[in-house]
Chains A and B, each alone.
Chain A
Amino acid sequence: MRAKVVELDPIACDGHGICHELLPERITLDDWGYPIIDRRPLTDDLLAHANRAVANCPVLALRLKTVELVIDERMRRGGRGAA
């Protein structure tokens, strides 16, 4: 099964923080205003928001990456699994 995750180029990122405004469900900010990416797969309801976050990054530091999901029982039960 395939899913999309958010991926950041930390070298390109200048910490504008727009991505956090648009996708707080997956992107928080650190103590210096730079995005911390939650790499859990994007659920369908978040895809449109994620695309907007990617499109609105002023330095094009964000992208969505397609990953192959390995279904893990622990993930189904709501734990934090790796994508």
Chain B
Amino acid sequence: MTMTLAQRERRAATAPTGLPRLLAGRPDLAGHLAAFGPLPPVAAEMQAMTARAGLTGRGGAGFPTHRKLEAVAGRRGPRVVVANGTEGEPLSAKDKTLLIQAPHLVLDGLDLAAQAVGASRRVICIERGNQAVYAAVCVALAERRDESVEVVVTPRRYVTGQEAALVDFIDGGPGRPTRERPFERGVGGRPTLVDNVETLAHLALIARFGPEWFRQVGSPGSPGSALITVGGRVDRPGVFEVAMGTPLSSVLQLAQAAPPRAVLLGGYFGRWIPARSARQLTLDAASLSAHGAAVGCGVVAVIDDDSCAVAELARVAAWYAHSSAGQCGACTWGLRDLAAATSALEAGSPDPRVTSDIQRWTAMVKGRGGCRLPDGAVAFLESGMEAFADEIAEHQAGRCRRRDHRLLPTPTPEAWG
């Protein structure tokens, strides 16, 4: 039986139960409205609803979304909202998946955020080289007959996805981090809200079905669902929508992971968790913070006994060095030397100074960048050195027999324009 569009919209006003939520979305506008119904006029209540929902940013920092809305709404003059879909984290695919499968949820969220903070300018940023993502966004905007959203294609560089760097790029700069705080001085010098695209998509569902519905899934401290990208030594890599608070072991099962030696949680900006600790963890802020970890951008990568972890550490350390914008001394030179030392470790240098240098330099560069890139390198390397201490000793003795499976991708960043 066929239904008119209006009939479909009415029927879809019932809230989805269980999961998936975001990934129940459809690429086309008719399918989107059939799945979720039209956007109700709730912009004025959006801040309060977001606070009650307890939504936190899904881009990596996990900051409470309502506080970001408040910070920009409370400013004077014209304001700007930026949907950040750059997803420069090499292991992460969830934002690309979301933009291809449910672009209208993201665009609904962008509209809501703009109305909630009183923004007159809306921008969506995606990284160069993802044709399907670009097409999905452009087609969705055409379907909505919305010509006033600016689509900005950013260079393939991790740091350009950082808020202030993104603002710099939108304004015609090279896309390097700056000292400005976007909520004070962002795009065009205007107060600017920069939110991850998944965060905005959750906003679109909270507007429709309410904060209590949002909290029906997840744990009290970490409510809602999240998109998780699972990679490394797994048979079924990909993007999964899970409830926050899900045991990490269930996520590994979904992806049919090999028995892990360690799990990288939060991507290259996250930490390595040894298997014995990983077994007890849930994807919940409280459970993870006890191990210094966080859900971050939702990347889970598995390494098993057969895989050489030090080779992975060395490649990612080199990726970090190449990713530096070259602005801050500790980042430019510190990450270069850390990459060289990690590479020497992989090559089997028995010199004990190599490990003591890594320890000295991680401590030395921590907190000393204009952005948090060096801090990401430190967390990745420090936790890796600890989780793979046994294998490091094997390398120093020249007897690591594990295979290099090249599990962690390290794309070369585009040159600075």
Check if B369 is an interface residue, CB within 8 A of chain A. yes
Inter-chain contacts of A15 with B (CB < 8 A) = 329
- Which residues of A sit under 8 angstroms from B368, Cβ to Cβ? 10, 30, 34, 36
Which residues between 361 and 400 of chain B lie within 8 Å of chain A, taking CB atoms? 361, 364-365, 368-370
B177 at the interface (CB under 8 A from A): yes
Report the contact-size class of chain B (Cβ under 8 Å from the partner).
10 to 19
Least CB distance, A14 to chain B, in whole angstroms: 8
Contact B177 A11 (CB under 8 A): yes
A11 to B337 Cα, complex, angstroms: 19
Distance of A9 Cα from B364 Cα, bound (Å): 17
- Are B364's CB and A10's CB within 8 A? no
Contact with A along B64-80 (1 / 0, CB 8 A): 00000000000000000
Question: Are B329 and A32 in contact, with the CB atoms below 8 A?
Answer: yes
Partner among B177, B330, B369 whose Cβ is within 8 Å of the Cβ of A30:
B330
B364 closest partner in A (C-beta): A30
* Residues on B with beta carbons closer than 8 Å to the beta carbon of A32: 329-330, 332-334, 337
Interface of A is mostly: loop
In the complex, are the beta carbons of A11 and B328 less than 8 A apart? yes
* Interface of chain B, main secondary structure: helix
One digit per residue, 1 when the CB lies within 8 angstroms of any chain B CB and 0 when it does not, for chain A 34-54 equals 101000000000000000000
Count of A-B contacts with CB under 8 A? 47
How many chain A residues touch the partner (CB < 8 A)? 13
Of the candidates B177, B332, B365, B368, the one having the most CB atoms from chain A within 10 angstroms of its own CB is: B368
Are A10 and B329 in contact, CB atoms less than 8 angstroms apart?
yes
Q: Does A68 contact B (CB under 8 A)?
A: no
Q: List which A1-21 residues lie within 8 A (CB) of chain B.
A: 9-15
Contact status B329-A30, CB under 8 Å: yes
Q: How many angstroms between the C-alpha atoms of A31 and B333 in the bound complex?
A: 9
Question: Would you give the 0/1 interface string for B343-373, flagging 1 where the beta carbon is closer than 8 Å to chain A?
Answer: 0000000000000000011001100111000
Query: In the assembled complex, which residues on chain A have CB atoms less than 8 Å from the CB atom of B327?
Result: 10-11
B287 within 8 Å of A (CB atoms):
no
* Nearest CB in chain B to that of A30: its residue: B364
Q: A31-B361, A31-B364 are in contact. Are A9 and B333 (CB under 8 A)?
A: no
Interface hub of A9, A10, A31, A33 (most chain B Cβ within 10 A): A10
A10 is contacted by which of B333, B337, B360, B369 (Cβ under 8 Å)?
B369
CA distance A10 to B368 in the complex (A): 7
Given the complex of chains A and B, what is the CA–CA distance between A14 and B328 in angstroms? Answer: 8
Closest CB of chain A to B235's CB: distance in Å? 44
Q: Tell whether, in the assembled complex, residue A11 and residue B334 are in contact, meaning their CB atoms are under 8 Å apart.
A: no
Known A30-B364, A31-B361, A32-B329; judge A9-B370 contact (CB<8 A): yes
Interface residues of A (CB under 8 A from B): 9-15, 30-34, 36
